[in-house]
Amino acid sequence: MHRGVHLAAQDRFGALDGQAGDLLTQRLAGFGGKMGEIRDGITGPEGIVYSPLIEVVLPRPWHKGRVIVLGDAAHTAAPHLTQGAGMALEDAIVFAEQVTSGLPLEEALTAVSDIRFDRAKLVFDVSHAILEAEMQVTTENMPYAVEGMRAELPGQTAFLESQLNLSFHSPAPQLNH
C-alpha cells in the first residue's frame, strides 16, 4: 500500500499499523445482520480496503490549451449522493455538444466548464454538507440527529432532485458570423 494513503487511513481511523481490523471489529460489535456478517468476516488488516475521501471542485476554466479535465478530475464530491458517474456522463455530453458546435476550440472548452460548474458545485456542496452532518453524530446526540434527519432530509432530497431533474446542458450556441 502506498505510504501516504496508509498514513491518511491511520489518521482517519485512529489506528496504528495493522490495527484497523481490530478497530473495525470493535466498532461493529453491537451490530447483527449484514453488518455482523461483515464484522465476523474480518480476518485481519489485509481484508480491509480504505481510502480517504477526497473532495475538490476546480475553479473555471477546466482546460488549458487543448487539454480539459472533466468528471472526478474537475469535481469530486463525497459519495453521499451517488452522483459521480452521472456528473461525469453529463460532462461528456456537454463536452461533445460544445466541441462539435462550430465554436472555436478555446470558446467551446471554456463553455464546457461554464455550463457545468454550477451544477457540479451544487452536488459537491450538498454531498459535503451531508458528510459534515454525519461526522457530528455521536452516541450522545444520535436520537436528536435521527430526528433531525427524518424532519429535514425529505425536503432537502426533494429540492436536490428538482435541481438535478433540470437540463444539464445548454441549447446549441448561436454562432456569430
Q: Where are the domains of the chain?
A: 3-47, 77-164
SS (H, E, C) the chain: CCHHHHHHHHHHHCCCCCCHHHHHHHHCCCCCHHHHHHHHCCCCHHHCCCCCCCCEECCCCCEECCEECCHHHCEECCHHHCCHHHHHHHHHHHHHHHHCCCCCHHHHHHHHHHHHHHHHHHHHHHHHHHHHHHHCCCCCCHHHHHHHHHHHHHHHHHHHHHHHCCCCCCCCCCCCC
Q: Whole-angstrom Cα distance, residue 28 to residue 43? A: 14
Written as nine digits, the cell of 78 is 463525497
pLDDT in tens, the chain (177 residues): 333 233 334 445 555 556 777 777 888 888 899 988 888 887 766 667 767 788 999 999 999 999 999 999 999 999 888 899 999 999 999 999 999 999 999 999 999 999 999 999 999 999 998 888 888 888 889 899 999 989 988 998 898 889 889 888 765 444 454
